[in-house]
């Protein structure tokens, strides 16, 4: 990315448009611009949903799960040994063998196993038996079949944790829908499949999602880490909460536990309608075009799976109002999910560098007839979608910084392709977080592979806790 030619928070100019056309476009797109009053209101709602979610006695139900992960500490450099980490969340199942020496991650072996449709949509028994078979293949291939390992399981589906080693599946998402599993403990299901084989010396001792793993992996890289954020295809956040504010403990909370990681499941923020006041006609259409309608409301405002589709919907609407592109729209632009978030990143790169090459190439690929006015409008739409996403996620992060109330710098560990590859998003977030929490010192840090290496670190922490008991 080259040097920016204007303030990073200002979008590309649309002054090239005739005044009447510019006024009409701004009126149609005005709902994408969050006013200061809207920002304050979103913050207040977020605070209320957090407090409601933590209060197990509340009669009102929060859209934030506020799940206790039962991870009571972060890596301190004393972690030792070899651990297996399993990562299940998509069409590939990943097995990782990682060695820790004096808390440092050293030798690493990784292998991916494809999960076919028949298993993702079949019975839970078949799925977990297959995962155990993959583990057998992995250990046999590396001549470690006779060795004993403790295992960390990254299970990136909605779950309710009763302990660090118990995760009750709430619902399958993505492309999974296995029977006989909802309401069951995923750790127990996997341990049962392992024991049924009789040829594996393994025990799953920790379960987590990729967001928790990102925070823990971030803490391994930087001890000031206190917040974990996924900002990729999907989105979620977690943070370190004072234990006395967390009422959702199975059994009695250990006396020596002062803090614990809380998983917000923030992608669902707004599922109960509390954010409907910022919902535009474009957001409604994106939601209707999605697989899970009326779910993951916040995620649909900010995540990579939806940002490109939001832009596509807006472009089609602008064409209907005769504000963009001449002639008939090609089937490509009229087909959902054809305009990717990757395109948005490339177009934003043009805006930052005051260029048009990427935008023109993408519009040619979409097979539309366009002129320079159209290029300006498309660039502006991509900025509006990006800027709103950056504001929304920053409102939440800024409040988490305030809530943690730390005098020293707090590092926010982030994983995800959107954060990693979008040329403007990080700078926008840094600007807005500072604006919304001006007295808090923070840093954004890329912490890749929380679902793998982070799971190993959580497993090592679980082993230390077990030894301590």
- Residue 452, pLDDT > 80, answer yes
Question: What integer pLDDT is reported at residue 74 of this predicted model?
Answer: 96
- Residue 2, pLDDT > 90, answer no
Question: What integer pLDDT is reported at residue 65 of this predicted model?
Answer: 93
Residues 6+ apart with CB under 8 A from 442: 397, 401, 409, 410, 411, 412, 433, 434
193 contacts 131 by C-beta, under 8 angstroms: yes
Question: What integer pLDDT is reported at residue 18 of this predicted model?
Answer: 84
Listed residue (351, 465, 460) closest to 96, CA to CA: 460
Question: What integer pLDDT is reported at residue 7 of this predicted model?
Answer: 55
Question: What integer pLDDT is reported at residue 8 of this predicted model?
Answer: 65
pLDDT confidence tier of residue 120, bands split at 50, 70 and 90 = very high
Is 87 marked active-site? no
Average pLDDT over residues 220-243: 96
Q: Kindly report the pTM of this predicted structure.
A: 0.94
DSSP string, 67-88: EE--------S---EEEEEEEE
Listed residue (45, 62, 156, 53) closest to 392, CA to CA: 45
Q: How many C-beta atoms lie closer than 10 Å to residue 5's C-beta?
A: 11
Question: What integer pLDDT is reported at residue 22 of this predicted model?
Answer: 87
Q: Domains of the chain (ranges plus CATH)?
A: 68-220+449-464 (3.30.420.40)
From 185, 210, 415, 449, active-site residue:
210
Q: Measured between alpha carbons, how far is 107 from 396 in angstroms, rounded to an integer? A: 37
Q: Measured between alpha carbons, how far is 5 from 353 in angstroms, rounded to an integer? A: 6
- Residue 241, pLDDT > 60, answer yes
Mean pLDDT for the chain overall: 94
CA dihedral 358, 364, 366, 369 (to 10 degrees): 120
DSSP string, 262-273: EE--GGGTTTTS
pLDDT greater at residue 251 or residue 458 = 458
Is 300 marked active-site? no
pLDDT confidence tier of residue 9, bands split at 50, 70 and 90 = confident
Ranges of H-type helices in 15-162: 19-29, 36-54, 117-120, 124-141
pLDDT confidence tier of residue 347, bands split at 50, 70 and 90 = very high
- 166-219 pLDDT per residue, tens: 999 988 888 899 999 999 999 999 999 999 999 999 999 999 999 999 999 999
- 285-303 pLDDT per residue, tens: 999 999 889 999 999 999 9
- Residue 341, pLDDT > 60, answer yes
pLDDT confidence tier of residue 3, bands split at 50, 70 and 90 = very low
pLDDT confidence tier of residue 1, bands split at 50, 70 and 90 = very low
């Amino acid at each position: 990315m080259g040097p920016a030619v204007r303030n990073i928070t200002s979008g590309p100019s649309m002054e090239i448009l005739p005044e009447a056309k510019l006024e009409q476009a701004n009126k149609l797109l005005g709902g994408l611009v969050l006013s200061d009053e809207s920002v304050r209101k979103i913050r207040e709602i977020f605070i209320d949903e957090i407090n409601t979610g933590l209060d197990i006695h509340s009669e009102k139900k929060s859209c934030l799960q506020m799940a206790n992960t039962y991870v009571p500490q972060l890596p301190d450099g004393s972690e030792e040994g070899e651990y297996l980490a399993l990562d299940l969340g998509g069409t590939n199942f990943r097995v990782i063998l990682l060695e820790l020496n004096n808390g440092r991650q050293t030798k690493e072996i990784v292998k991916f196993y494809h999960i076919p449709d028949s298993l993702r949509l079949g019975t839970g028994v078949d799925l977990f038996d297959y995962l155990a078979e993959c583990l057998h293949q992995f250990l046999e291939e590396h001549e470690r079949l006779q060795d004993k390992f403790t295992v960390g399981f990254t299970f990136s589906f909605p779950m309710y944790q009763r302990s660090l080693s118990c995760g009750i599946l709430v619902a399958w998402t993505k492309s999974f829908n296995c029977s006989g599993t909802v309401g069951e403990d995923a750790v127990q299901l996997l341990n049962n499949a392992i024991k049924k084989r009789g040829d594996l010396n393994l025990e799953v001792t920790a379960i987590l999602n990729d967001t928790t793993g990102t925070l823990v992996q971030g803490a391994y890289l930087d001890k000031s880490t206190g917040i974990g954020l996924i900002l990729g295809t999907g989105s979620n956040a977690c943070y370190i909460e004072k234990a006395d504010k967390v009422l959702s403990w199975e059994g009695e909370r250990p006396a020596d536990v002062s803090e614990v990681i809380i998983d917000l499941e923030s992608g669902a923020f707004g599922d109960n309608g509390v954010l409907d006041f910022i919902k535009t006609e474009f957001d409604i259409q994106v939601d209707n075009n999605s697989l899970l309608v009326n779910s993951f409301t916040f995620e649909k405002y900010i995540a990579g799976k939806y940002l490109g589709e939001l832009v596509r919907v807006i472009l089609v609407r602008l064409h209907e109002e005769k504000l963009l592109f001449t002639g008939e729209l090609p089937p490509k632009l009229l087909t959902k999910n054809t305009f990717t978030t990757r395109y948005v990143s490339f177009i934003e790169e043009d805006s930052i560098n005051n260029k048009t090459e990427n935008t023109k190439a993408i519009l040619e690929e979409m097979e539309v007839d366009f002129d320079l006015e159209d290029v300006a409008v498309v660039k502006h739409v991509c900025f509006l979608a990006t800027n709103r996403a950056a504001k929304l996620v920053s409102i939440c992060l800024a409040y988490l910084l305030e809530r943690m109330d730390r005098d020293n710098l707090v590092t926010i560990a982030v994983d995800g392709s959107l954060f990693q590859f979008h040329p403007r998003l990080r700078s926008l977030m840094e600007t807005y977080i500072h604006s919304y929490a001006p007295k808090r010192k923070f840093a954004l840090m890329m912490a890749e592979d929380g679902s793998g290496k982070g799971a190993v670190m959580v497993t090592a922490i679980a082993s230390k806790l077990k030894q301590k008991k």
